[in-house]
Amino acid sequence: MTNPQDPATPASDRAVLALEPGDLSGHTIDELSDYLDAGRLPANPSIDQSASCQLALDALARLREVARTLLDVDVRNAPAADDNWVHRILDNIGLEARAGRDIPLRHPAPSAELVLTEGAVRGIIRTAGDSIDGILIGRCRFSGDVSVPGEPISVSVEASAVWGKPIMAAADRVRQAIHRELQTHTELNVTDIDVTVHDIHMADDAEADDQAGVR
Amino acid sequence: MTTAAPVRPLENAHDRTLAGRAADGDVRAFEVLVRRYGPLMRAYAVRILQSNDESDDVLQESFIVAWRQLPDLDDGGVVKSWLMRIVSRKCLDRIRARREHVDIDDVQPAAPASQSPPRLAEVHSTYDALGVALRTLPENQRECWVLREIAEYSYEDIGEAIGVPASTVRGLLARARKNLIHQMEVWR
């Protein structure tokens, strides 16, 4: 091959792969690309036995290989997503609260109307669940109409548990904590709290400190 | 709350946890997703659109859509590919809009690749070589190639986006590949 360090030689003067049908035993680059896409199957002897086709296929495969890594290298070479960058994006989104439905609360004065939003109740559930050591709450769903007082409601939460701790015990504590907080802050008629641990995560530094008893 | 619960760091949380929390309105979880996948989404947009300004706009629009539509995402575990699909659609919209706003005679610039040899002495890796080679491609060839190889669109979708028949996309792709291989092989 040619010396890549020699900028004096124009590209057109270099020995390059012949990629026209006349050079490729009558096949086209388009055909060879499709053949490569198909995993070189079904085998086409005319392509497989042509040395020039094999060279071209190898070159196409190399090109694809580089293409596949292109974005990863771009990301590695790009400046890291710093706080300014992230906050500029978040500020422009205007992350409106996801209030959801209104959940009524009784008020001593019959004329006054008091509600909690569904979003606020989800927040209460998240905080209650997160307070259990090693647990991170994910999605939280209600079934039953939370906007109707007294309606039976079941709560289902997804959670991720830290690696190395008993999951059943943690899930029980999550259930209890959520139940307690919902009792304290809402008038929802909660019939079930279903906790699904869908993932195990590794302890982050703070959790690792907790586990080691470090203050 | 009755007790001041500790605020758990979310940096190591799984995608599914973060997507679920963000769907429920947890801004902190959404921020971690922006930090985790924003750089990849931006790199993608830059490659597809070849424009930093447009890419920043596309990224912004993509996260607006993501925040709005997250509650409809059933499986938070696929949030990465879901985000990539959003940014991909936004890029395609931009490419379509360029076709609508630009006179068709203006979109076929670029000399044949051989007339603008890359400055090979500045090339340090195969990755850089591809970057240089891509810049020398005529616009329509480059566009077809990135939409096919980076965005993995079908010939039909590419044709629809850039306003040519799928057969023309095939032809442009074949020429793009030949040009790229020639330049890359020279460097090897």
What do you get for the CA distance between the two ends of chain A, in Å? Answer: 63
Which residues of chain B lie closer than 8 angstroms to A134, CB-CB?
none
The residue in chain B having the minimum alpha-carbon distance to the alpha carbon of residue A85 is B35
Cα torsion through B14, B16, B17, B18, rounded to 10: 90
Q: How many residues does chain A have?
A: 215
Residue A2 Cα, gap to closest chain B Cα (Å): 6
Identify the residue among B30, B173, B186 best suited for mutation to test binding to A, counting A beta carbons within 10 A and taking the highest.
B186
Instruction: List the structure tokens of B13.
Output: 């949380």
Give the burial string for A73-107 (b: 16+ CB within 10 Å, else e): bbbeeeeebeeebeeebbeebebeebebbebbeee
Give the pLDDT band (50/70/90) at residue A213: very low
- In sequence order, the β-bridge partners of residue A41 are none
Which range among A65-74, A137-146, A153-162, B124-133 shows the weakest confidence by mean pLDDT? B124-133
Helix (H, G, I), strand (E, B) or coil at B183: helix
φ/ψ (deg, to 5) at A103: -110, 115
Determine how many CB atoms are found less than 10 A away from the CB of residue A37.
10
Q: How many helices (H) does chain B have, and how many strands (E)?
A: 8, 0
- Range among A102-111, B98-107, B155-164 rated most confident: B155-164
User: Hey, what amino acid is at A46?
Assistant: S
User: How far is residue B118's CA from residue B129's CA, in Å, rounded to a whole number?
Assistant: 8
Question: What mean pLDDT is predicted for residues A193-211?
Answer: 78
User: Hey, what amino acid is at B150?
Assistant: I
| For residue B106, pLDDT beyond 70 | no
Burial class (CB in 10 A: 0-12, 13-18, 19+), B144: buried
Can you state the angle between helices B166-187 and B139-149, rounded to 10 degrees? Answer: 90
| A61-105 residue pLDDT tens | 999 999 989 999 999 988 877 888 899 999 988 777 788 889 888
| A116 shares contact with chain B (CB less than 8 Å) | no
Give the pLDDT band (50/70/90) at residue B188: low
pTM for this prediction:
0.83
If contacts are CB pairs under 8 Å, which of residues 195-214 in chain A contact chain B? 198-199, 201-202, 204-207
Question: What mean pLDDT is predicted for residues B131-158?
Answer: 93
Instruction: List the structure tokens of B71.
Output: 């509650």
User: How far is residue A121's CA from residue A105's CA, in Å, rounded to a whole number?
Assistant: 12
User: How far is residue A120's CA from residue A97's CA, in Å, rounded to a whole number?
Assistant: 9
Of the partner residues B7, B127, B181, the one whose CB lies closest to the CB of residue A59: B181
SS (H, E, C) chain A: CCCCCCCCCCHHHCCCCCCCCCCCCCCCHHHHHHHHHCCCCCCCHHHHCCHHHHHHHHHHHHHHHHHHHHHHHHHHHCCCCCHHHHHHHHHHHCCCCCCCCEEEECCCCCCCCEEEEHHHHHHHHHHHHHCCCCEEEEEEEEECCCCCCCCEEEEEEEEEEECCCCHHHHHHHHHHHHHHHHHHHCCCEEEEEEEEEEEEECCCHHHHHHHHCCC
| A28-62 residue pLDDT tens | 999 999 999 999 999 999 999 999 999 999 999 99
A4 prior amide bond cis, ω within 30:
no
CB spacing of B24 vs A122 below 8 angstroms: yes
Q: What is the DSSP letter of B72?
A: G
